[in-house]
Amino acid sequence: MDDFAKQLQEQEKALENIRHKLALLPDQPGCYLMKNREGTIIYVGKAKVLKNRVRSYFTGSHNGKTQMLVSEIRDFEYIVTGSNMEALILECNLIKTHQPRYNVLLKDDKTYPYLKITNEEHPRLEVTRRVLKDKAKYFGPYPNAYAAQQTKKLLDRMYPLRKCGVMPKEVCLYYHMGQCMAPCVKEVPKSAYEEITSEINSFLSGGHEEIKKELQRKMQEAAEDLYFERAKELRDQIIHIDTLMEKQKITTTDTRDRDVFGYAVDKGWMCVQILYMRQGKMVQRNKSIFPFYGDAHSDFMSFIAQYYSDNPAVPQEILLPGPVLIEEAESDAQDSIAAKDAPISEGAGSRAAASTESGQAPGAGEGDAAGSPSLAVAEDPSGSGSAGSGPESSGQGEEAERLAAATKAENERAEAAGLVDAAGGAAALQEWLGVKVHVPQRGLKRQMVGMAIENAKVALDEKFRLIERDEERTSIAAANLGEVIGIESLNRIEAFDNSNIQGTNPVSAMVVFTNGKPDKKEYRKYKIRTVQGPDDYETMREVIRRRYERVLKENLPLPDLIVVDGGRGQISAAIDVLENELGLFIPVCGLVKDAKHRTAQLMVGDPPQPVSLPRDSQEFYLLQRIQDEVHRFAISFHRDQRGKSMVSSKLDSIPGIGEKRRKLLLKHFGSIKKIKEASVEDFKPLSIGEKLATDILNALRDEES
């Protein structure tokens, strides 16, 4: 029964934590990871709007399977992505990595589909899931096989490549339909294949917009001529193209292992986000939040150096953000905040519309290595923008020049200030680790770094919002508790607890809560000096006397409320010492526990009277935290004292064992139990002879018996 009550209490605390986290979920797409009480990931899902989807698990009714899942959830984590397609692919990667219990229907061994133009005398266009080093041209990965097959079907109609797996002896139907050049019976020049390959490459690297416009024109003509079946077929082809070309950067065409870093800073704190890409797929993330005191980028580079000095698993490539990219992210965040209160100008609206129509993420260059359709060509998987698939536009050139100038200025500023610039830091890290370290300026890799920065911003914002909510809740709870007790201002609370086992090693402890939060610098420990045996009332008298004699002597701040662990007897003992011996009139309350050692009742006054507090109120929760904290502090101190006394009594009483030899024995064996289990020969490395070793073993074993 006690175990069930404990589990129920743990579940209530976990749900309370979940409720606070639900209020902070962003209105962005991404993936969420549900965890059980052991911290094991039991379910991975994706969402178009994280806030709505994750909340739905904890509200309303569900079917049997979902109810079972929700009953095991004790915490959750989420990763923000740039689009729904990224969330889909990330979900697949996470499921394959963690294999959650409740994602059993989503487990498979499939990889992502690619379109491939084979490297043959008469090339073919095919869909494959394997990327080989066979000099073929690969385009992808694609979000799903259906979209890839439909796009291949569209390309087959447009470009007459060979369709047959084995060369036939006579022409087939595809030739008569104009979808094959019939290399089985005709001589097809190599230049014709090169031209078709170039056109397909152009289509999959951005030229699809022209094809879409042509298909839309034909669809409108078919609709006007009342050929609705033909119009529907053309509409479906346009939808397939849009699905295929949607931006995604979760998976790359190569299979390199990468660590992608991003960071965000605010209010003197930094959050570093690491996205782990393994075999070209994002499988996990890690975040670290800590205060920083110097230049943000220099401290970030220092963090990376320390991270890899303790981490032997270095990937094949590391992607880092530059100060320019961080400043752009901060500027975008400020612009988005301002946009909530300001009307959108006509220019901004048209720009946003153009960005949406092209399917590009804001800030993405037109010449990304992934191409406008976001599909990385296997011949140039770097994504650094150094090998675009088409001619560079003037806009792209201006963007590159602007980035180069800004980066140069930033590096000059850093050098003048004696700081680590982005390029220099990356070069030093590359030389030290022996792997490629890049600060990407554009392309797919820059977008991946941008995703890490976005996740860092979200995590840092969540931290501050949680702190604000906790401070607000605890401050309100402390104020309300003061009203219940009859105290105008309740800022400082000092709580006491005693601990002993049948009167042995009696100790006491005091904790301090300021404005509802623990102030650990003010904690104090007390060894009981005058009380013999298990007398809790006299122990309380001694501790209260010693504490507040020192407060008066050193002119320390007095508490607004004193909390003792116990009922009428402990309260009366504390009040008697305070008022009759020290002349202090400080309110004293007691926390009474039930049979299961849980906080049950608050008692106040002289004589003490119970105060009714709802068990689900924030005030009761604050008292519960105070009692749990002071009990934990007292128990840990008592265990330390008991452990020292046990060691002292067992070893120090043996002739020939002094302080130095006792420490040597404990350091070598680790514990008294290990010493008892040792043989005489095990003492020889400590220069302890056979006689003394025998005396030690006999003394310990005799005491145990």
Residue pLDDT, tens place only, 408-422: 665 555 444 334 456
Of the candidates 68, 60, 74, 66, the residue with the CA atom closest to the CA atom of residue 12: 74
Q: Name the more confident of 206 and 340.
A: 206
- Distance, in Å, from the CA atom of 393 to the CA atom of 399, rounded to the nearest integer, reads 10
The pLDDT value recorded for residue 248 is: 45
The yes-or-no verdict on residue 379 having pLDDT over 50 is: no
Is 546 buried (19+), middle (13-18) or exposed (0-12) by CB count in 10 A?
middle
Would you say the C-alpha torsion 360, 364, 365, 368 has a positive or negative sign? negative
Give the least confident one: 29-43, 55-69, 584-598: 55-69
The yes-or-no verdict on residue 336 having pLDDT over 90 is: no
Instruction: Tell me how far apart the terminal alpha carbons of the chain are, to the nearest angstrom.
Output: 35
The residue with tokens 């209105």 is 27
The pLDDT value recorded for residue 368 is: 34
Average pLDDT over residues 639-656: 65
The yes-or-no verdict on residue 351 having pLDDT over 50 is: no
Tell me the pLDDT band of 353, cut-offs 50, 70 and 90.
very low
Give the least confident one: 163-172, 383-392, 521-530: 383-392
The yes-or-no verdict on residue 424 having pLDDT over 60 is: yes
> Would you state the torsion angle of the CA atoms of residues 187, 188, 189, 193, taken in this order, to the nearest 10 degrees?
-160
The yes-or-no verdict on residue 297 having pLDDT over 50 is: yes
Output the six-digit token pair for 443: 């392309």
Average pLDDT over residues 374-389: 36
Percentage, residues of the chain above pLDDT 90: 11
What mean pLDDT, rounded, does the chain reach? 75
The yes-or-no verdict on residue 81 having pLDDT over 60 is: yes
3-state SS assignment for residue 395:
helix
CA atoms within 13 A on the CB side of 401: 7
Q: Longest Cα pair distance anywhere in the chain, in angstroms? A: 116
Q: Name the more confident of 374 and 480.
A: 480
Give the least confident one: 168-182, 307-321, 365-379: 365-379
Output the six-digit token pair for 233: 């077929």
Q: Name the more confident of 328 and 352.
A: 328
**228-245 and 208-224 are packed helices; what angle lies between their axes, rounded to 10 degrees?**
160
Tell me the pLDDT band of 239, cut-offs 50, 70 and 90.
confident
Output the six-digit token pair for 569: 């007897």
**Contacts of 317 by beta carbon, 8 Å cutoff, 6+ apart:** 256, 257, 258, 259, 435, 436, 437, 438
Q: What domains appear along the chain, each with residue ranges and CATH number?
A: 1-98 (3.40.1440.10), 120-129+138-246 (no CATH), 258-326+421-462 (3.30.420.10), 486-644 (3.30.420.340), 647-700 (1.10.150.20)
Output the six-digit token pair for 644: 């020292």
The yes-or-no verdict on residue 504 having pLDDT over 60 is: yes
Tell me the pLDDT band of 183, cut-offs 50, 70 and 90.
confident
Would you say the C-alpha torsion 420, 422, 426, 427 has a positive or negative sign? negative
The pLDDT value recorded for residue 106 is: 38
Which strands form 125-128's sheet, in the order they lie side by side? 125-128, 114-117, 137-140, 376-377
Query: For the whole prediction, is pTM greater than 0.75?
Result: no
The yes-or-no verdict on residue 178 having pLDDT over 80 is: no
The yes-or-no verdict on residue 104 having pLDDT over 60 is: no
Q: What are phi and psi of 377, to 5 degrees?
A: -80, 135
The pLDDT value recorded for residue 97 is: 81
The pLDDT value recorded for residue 493 is: 92
The pLDDT value recorded for residue 358 is: 33
**Contacts of 106 by beta carbon, 8 Å cutoff, 6+ apart:** 91, 92, 95
The residue with tokens 């400043």 is 327
Q: What are phi and psi of 598, to 5 degrees?
A: -115, 150
Output the six-digit token pair for 308: 């890899």
Percentage, residues of the chain above pLDDT 70: 72
The pLDDT value recorded for residue 345 is: 34
Average pLDDT over residues 87-93: 75
Q: Name the more confident of 453 and 98.
A: 453
* Sequential DSSP letters for 276-341: EEETTEEEEEEEEEEE--S-HHHHHHHHHHHHHHS-----SEEE---HHHHHHHHHHHHHHHHHHH
The yes-or-no verdict on residue 495 having pLDDT over 90 is: yes
Average pLDDT over residues 481-501: 85
What b-and-e string marks burial along 341-373, b requiring 16 or more CB atoms within 10 Å of the CB? eeeeeeeeeeeeeeeeebbbbeebbbbbbbbbb
The residue with tokens 């266009």 is 125
Give the least confident one: 81-90, 209-218, 503-512, 517-526: 81-90
Contact by Cβ (8 Å): 466, 296: no
C-alpha R_g of the chain: 35
Q: Name the more confident of 327 and 172.
A: 172
The yes-or-no verdict on residue 352 having pLDDT over 80 is: no
Tell me the pLDDT band of 550, cut-offs 50, 70 and 90.
very high
The yes-or-no verdict on residue 562 having pLDDT over 90 is: yes
DSSP bridge partners of 271: 264, 289
Output the six-digit token pair for 637: 């101190």
Tell me the pLDDT band of 173, cut-offs 50, 70 and 90.
confident
> Would you state the torsion angle of the CA atoms of residues 88, 91, 97, 99, taken in this order, to the nearest 10 degrees?
-120
The pLDDT value recorded for residue 510 is: 94
The pLDDT value recorded for residue 361 is: 35
The yes-or-no verdict on residue 546 having pLDDT over 90 is: yes
The yes-or-no verdict on residue 383 having pLDDT over 60 is: no
* Sequence-ordered alpha helix ranges (H) in 496-566: 536-554
Q: What are phi and psi of 677, to 5 degrees?
A: -85, -5
